[in-house]
Structure 1
Amino acid sequence: MGDTLRVPGRGVRRAVAVVTVLVLAAGIGSAVSLTAPTLVSDLGLTGSPAAPEPVPPVPALGPLAATAPLPTTAGLEAALGEAVADMPGRFTGTVLDPATGAVLWASDAERALVPGSTAKILTAAAALLTLNPTDGFVTRVVAGTQPGTVVLVGGGDPTLTALPEGEDGVYPGPARLTELAQEVQERMPGPIDTVVVDTNRYSGPTSAPGWDPADVGAGFVTPIEPLMLDGGRLDPTLQDTPRTDEPALVAGRAFAELVGADEVETGTAPGQGERLGSVTSAPFSELVEHTMRTSDNVLAEALAREVAVVRGGQPSFAGAAEQTLAALTQAGFDPSGAVLVDGSGLSTDDEVPAQVLGALLAAAATPAESDRDTDFLRPLITGLPVAGGDGTLDDRFGVDAPSASGRGTVRAKTGTLTNVSSLAGLVTDADGRLLVFAFMSNGASPATVRPRLDALAAELGGCGCP
């Protein structure tokens, strides 16, 4: 189910936005009427107004002080301990200082639990450590072996869209099938009658162990193939909407319609086939941010497969999981206790300790020591949803909730499956110290646990905890 159980609220927010605009407009109108020339004259205020003294700007935001005091373990235990003791289900958690890497507080942090979508932190980190951040997925078309035949070769890009230029779906800067079709038609010497769909970039099953088959119809995932449109969505403008169960063929048919072909079939591109066109997705760094913000399961799986391809592993679920952990190990992280069977965290067979999530986020949030530092993992942080603001946290940390103080200050990756809840991210405490946290619970309903995890993160943010 990924990050589900969200209450539809966009219509409500839209209404609130409209009311806000009307109130602002009314306020502006009042201001104009009170300063109109006729009113000034009627009141006898006809003198020239004095020029106001310029007010020097005051910075609203600034860097965190490097000298901000660290909370103590005893202080954190006093602030968090009671809530943790009352947390339903099996709990694991940790709090770290990213500036030093020190673990400030932990509760069974080495214990591996089902992470839900916080497993995407491992996938995203491996992608950032393995892939060139400015590269993207490439979808190409080559000439077939028969006259009038072209081969559409899947390059792993789930963001490819059939929407025309000027119309946007859910993905940032997507490659467009219309552009690819135009390129091919310009270079093809004659009419096209057959489109061959090549999905050989990936191997193995298209569904992972521990996935619920109903998740396709529910809109959380589609069979993982290296060719699809808009993540397999039937409505490309909605994040969670029913998906197709044959994404590559759907993409092939859409391309055939654009180039005027009558036949669509599956096959393999010839080894020396002439390239007729190609399109490239948004850069991997942007796609990682989008994956973190929206918890996009299909995009996470594509990134994991790309890690496997680049590292020379098998481009399957098992191969991608293996290479994800290998990439983290090679980079100096210790993923001990982590067991992955997919890249999205949608599987109930995944297990990850809170200390692994915390270590990765702490590394991503570590302050740069010089202008020459290359912060490969920074998109892990910049992609985190903001509490009460965007992504999968847009409808959490409500204004009347116990976690309300965390609105706009907590940034975290969410994770939700049946009886699985997790929250991992960062917050600045009351003394101005940036802290990283990872909280996980298994065995109790998310409806009960998620508000408590939110409140725990908000409490951390409000704590000086000396």
Structure 2
Amino acid sequence: MTSPASVARTGALTALAGALLAGSLAAGPAAGHPPASLGTATPGSARTILPGLDAAAPTPSPAALAAQLAGPLQDPGLAGPAAYVVDALTGKVLLDIRGRTPATPASTLKTAVATAALATFPDARLRTTVVYSPPTGAAATAPGGTLWLVGAGDPTLTAAARPDGYPTPARLADLVHQVRAAGITSVSRVIGDGSLFTGPDRAPGWRDNYVTDGDVAPVSALELDAGRAAPGATGARAADPAAAATAVFGGALRMAGIAVGSVGTGPAQPSAHQVAAVDSPPVRVLVRKMLSESDNDLAESLGRLVARHRGLPASFAGAVRAVTGTLAELGLPTAGASLYDVSGLSTSDLIEPATLIAVLRAAVLPVRPALRDLLTGLPVAGFSGTLGDRFTSGDTAAGAGEVRAKTGTLRNVSSLAGQVVDADGRLLLFAFLSPAEEVSGTKAALDRIATALARCGCRAPAAGAPAPAR
């Protein structure tokens, strides 16, 4: 027989899922909105925080919650993880195991750059352009000039004729069509311009095999299909994404009947005029894609674009300063953070688990509604993104559909940070960071902790009453 608590919990989850899918948790942009405190919410604002959740649901007892998680946390495969659990409504800390000790976050760090981008320009689109300079003294579209493909930091630009899936990316084919429509029939040179970003294209702490294994492309403002050999391809990324994108563009122009001379890379001439442009999906949609798929190229691009918005260099160092600066302006703690990138790929990155939780809580509270896209982008256990193939075994299946979390895996860390509604209907935020090497057993051990948290009916027993059985 279904218990009243489980019925209430299912209703809360259904309402939450409906609100997320309907977009009611993603209200208008917050760019330019003054920083505001993200302190404790009042119980009366619970419906504003997340519709369907009961503010009167009992808050877990820290002692009972610690007892519930003690076994899973002691799994030897996790090598003694950090663990931090907070009640989303009140901010009360329910479990703190080295929660304020900086640790390597891996891709859970992407929640930080997601927050910075959503707080800065949630509805902006990244515009890739083509500009043309005709031969000296010739008409604007006279043949024989130079055509530049100018990157805007959109690694989702695709060579696919009919892209599958969501969101629909900007297409190289549309740029080619517009060039033809402008009346350009031949060019002496086609040049790719990725100069919007500056500095090194790999960060300290990036392993040499990241590019060859296909984890990330060298960072460039001009990429096609994230530096992959073809749309949907896997494996190694291009060593020079701008050059690779320009070569494909040149070939597409030829296929369209436009004569092309040499192909290379370099900055566009300021006097060149625009003849074509395509826009990415809105940044809020790119953020959801980045979080769901753990897209490193998008993370680094968004970080650099936030840096440019703040007048900082569009480099690794500039992106780190921009992201941490934005978090600080939002009232979120950044003390102890020592970062070398914003994707979390660097094995040298350090951040407090408590900071990750503060970032998640900022998206839950009503102060900054534009941040809600952080929640909609989190993978759903057993269903989507990087959690789609997890929470499938007998001891974790109860977490499927219940846990929404950002994953993180590197050679020296396996992590999980996200949210769950517990068995009493209380929304909890958690971060579990293990200093263990990534293996399937490590991921399963983290999933067991999150599942135990989802199953927790950890209210304090009434005076004189026995503790509830689990």
**Fold conserved between structures, TM > 0.5:** yes
The aligned runs of 1:108-127 (5 Å cut-off) are 108-127=98-117
Give the equivalent residue in structure 1 for 2:86. Answer: 96
Question: Counterpart of 1:5?
Answer: none
**Which amino acid in the other structure matches residue 456 of structure 2?**
C
Q: Residue 6 of structure 2 corresponds to which residue in structure 1?
A: none
2 CA distance for matches of 1:388 and 1:189?
Answer: 50
Q: Secondary structure at the match of 2:340?
A: coil
Deviation at 1:258? 2.4
Match in the other structure for 2:97: 107
Q: Distance in 2 between matches of 1:121 and 1:178?
A: 33
Alpha-carbon distance in structure 1 between the residues aligned to 2:68 and 2:426 = 16
> Are 2:381 and 1:391 aligned?
no
Partner of 2:229: 234
User: Where does residue 374 of structure 2 map in the other structure?
Assistant: 380
How much has 1:234 moved relative to structure 2?
1.8
Q: Structure 1 residue 204 and structure 2 residue 208: aligned?
A: no
Q: Which whole-Å CA distance do the structure 1 matches of 2:286 and 2:228 have between them?
A: 17
Aligned residue for 2:284?
285
CA displacement at 1:171 relative to structure 2: 6.3
- In the TM superposition, residue 77 of structure 1 has moved relative to its aligned partner by 1.3
Q: Does 1:244 align with 2:238?
A: yes
> Paired residues, what number?
399
Tell me which of 14, 19, 33 is aligned to 1:61.
14
Shift of 1:448: 3.6
Assess, with a 3 A threshold, how the Cα gap between structure 1 residues 61 and 121 changes in structure 2: closer, same or farther.
closer
Deviation at 1:86, TM superposition (A): 4.3
Q: Are the aligned partners of 1:101 and 1:363 in contact in 2 as well (CA < 8 Å)?
A: no
Letter of the aligned partner of 2:73 in structure 1?
A: V
TM-fit CA distance, 1:399? 3.5
Measured in 1, the distance between the counterparts of 2:451 and 2:328 equals 32
Partner residue of 2:415?
422
How many angstroms apart in 1 are the aligned matches of 2:199 and 2:356? 28
**Residue in structure 2 matched with residue 11 of structure 1 by the alignment:** none
What residue number does 1:191 align with? 186
Q: CA deviation at 1:143?
A: 1.5
Residues 190 and 270 (structure 1), Cα distance of their counterparts in 2 relative to 1, 3 Å cut: same
Larger Rg: 1
Q: Which amino acid aligns with 1:241?
A: G
Shift of 1:75: 1.4
Q: 1: CA distance between counterparts of 2:235 and 2:125? A: 25
The amino acid of 1:149's aligned partner reads: T
Q: Is the 8 A contact 2:217 2:241 kept in 1?
A: yes
Superposed counterparts of 1:269-418, under 5 Å? 269-366=268-365, 368=366, 375-400=369-394, 402-418=395-411
The answer to whether the 8 Å contact 1:93/1:355 transfers is: no
- The reply to whether residue 167 of structure 1 matches residue 163 of structure 2 is yes
Q: 1:451 aligns with which of 430, 441, 444?
A: 444
Provide the residue aligned with 1:135 in structure 2: 124
Q: 1:310 to 1:375 in 2, by over 3 A?
A: same
Distance 2:184 2:237 in 1: 36
1:157 to 154, 158, 179: 154
Say which of 410, 425, 431 aligns to 2:424: 431
Structure 2 CA distance, aligned partners of 1:144 and 1:340?
Answer: 41
1:79 alignment counterpart:
68
CA distance in 2, matches of 1:455, 1:159: 34
Correspondence list, 1:214-233, <5 A: 214-233=209-228
Corresponding residue of 1:23: none
SS at structure 1 position matched to 2:70:
helix
Q: CA deviation at 1:236?
A: 1.8
Per the TM alignment, residue 374 of structure 1 is displaced from its structure 2 partner at its CA by: 5.2
Does the Cα contact within 8 Å between 1:97 and 1:362 map onto a contact in 2?
Answer: no
Alpha-carbon spacing, 1:171–1:244, altered in 2? closer, same or farther (3 Å): farther
- Asked if the contact 2:73–2:80 (Cα under 8 Å) also holds between the matched residues in 1, the reply is no
How far off its partner does 1:130 sit?
A: 1.5
Kept in 2: contact 1:92–1:353 (CA 8 A): no
Q: TM-score, normalised by structure 1?
A: 0.82
Deviation readout 1:166-206 (Å, 9 max, x if unpaired): 332x7621111111111122224552231121121011111
Q: Residues of 1 paired with 2:309 and 2:91: CA distance?
A: 30
Contact 1:235 1:241 (C-alpha < 8 Å) held by counterparts: no
Q: Is the 8 A contact 2:79 2:434 kept in 1?
A: yes
2: CA distance, partners of 1:297 / 1:188: 38
Change (3 A) 1:449 1:258: closer
The Cα shift of 1:235 comes to 3.6
Give the 3-state SS of the residue equivalent to 1:113 in structure 2. Answer: coil
CA distance in 2, matches of 1:188, 1:251: 23
Q: Identify unmatched segments of 5+ residues in structure 2.
A: 1-9, 16-51, 136-143, 460-470
1:13-70 Cα offsets, whole Å, 9 max, x none, are xxxxxxxxxxxxxxxxxxxxxxxxxxxxxxxxxxxxxxxxxxxxx9893312221111
Cα distance between partner residues in 2 of 1:381 and 1:125 = 10
Compute the displacement of 1:90 (Å).
Answer: 4.2
**AA partner of residue 215 (structure 1):** Y
* Residues in 2 aligned to 1:275 and 1:220: alpha-carbon distance in whole angstroms: 33
Deviations 1:228-287 (A, max 9, x none): 11111124225x532111211111112112223131122221223211111110110000
Q: Does 1:441 align with 2:430?
A: no
**3-state secondary structure, aligned to 2:187:** coil
8 Å Cα contact 2:80/2:435 also seen in 1: yes
Identity %: 42
CA distance in 2: counterparts of 1:189 and 1:183, whole angstroms = 9
Q: Secondary structure at the match of 2:158?
A: coil
For structure 1, the 5+ residue unaligned runs are 1-57
For 1:416, the aligned partner's letter is: T
Alpha-carbon separation, structure 1, partners of 2:184 and 2:214 = 41
**1:312 is paired with a residue of what secondary structure?**
coil
How far apart, CA to CA, are the structure 1 residues paired with 2:14 and 2:195?
Answer: 50
Give the letter aligned to residue 418 of structure 1. Answer: R
TM-score (norm 2): 0.81
* Contact 1:93 1:108 (C-alpha < 8 Å) held by counterparts: yes
